[in-house]
């Protein structure tokens, strides 16, 4: 069974979005990777699918909001909900260079060779 043309499709297992324009000239497809699925709730992913499918905003804005949401999720260790994603989306829309500050701090001691 193929993907219906002209309809939005959300499959919870495959996590892909496919939409065709009425003229069937343009088609968008987005598959969330494992890290994105870990830190974005299903509702958040659905919102991102809808934004990408609507083509009312440039796809780069939505992708940037998704990346910032994944960053926030990895910092907090929890899924980002739809309301938080909406705020991040507005922040990226207002300022395309918006980034959540994130610094990786290693807790491991620096490597020092043994001298015998």
Q: 77-81 — which CB contacts under 8 Å span 24+ positions?
A: 78/39, 79/38, 79/39, 79/40, 79/41, 79/44, 80/39, 80/40, 80/41, 80/44, 81/41, 81/43, 81/44
> What is the pLDDT at residue 102?
76
- What does pTM read for this prediction? 0.67
> What is the pLDDT at residue 29?
74
**pLDDT tens-place string over residues 43-99:** 999 999 999 888 888 999 999 999 999 999 999 999 999 999 999 999 999 999 999
């Amino acid at each position: 069974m193929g993907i219906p043309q002209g309809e939005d499709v959300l499959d919870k297992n495959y996590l892909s979005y496919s939409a065709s324009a009425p003229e069937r000239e343009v088609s968008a497809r987005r598959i969330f990777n494992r890290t994105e699925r870990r830190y974005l709730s299903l509702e958040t992913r659905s919102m991102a699918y809808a934004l990408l499918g609507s083509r009312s905003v440039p796809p780069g804005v939505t992708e940037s909001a998704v990346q910032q949401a994944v960053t926030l999720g990895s910092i907090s260790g929890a899924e980002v909900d739809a309301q938080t994603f909406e705020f991040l989306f507005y922040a990226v829309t207002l300022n395309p260079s918006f980034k959540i500050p994130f610094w990786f701090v290693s807790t491991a001691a620096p490597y020092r060779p043994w001298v015998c």
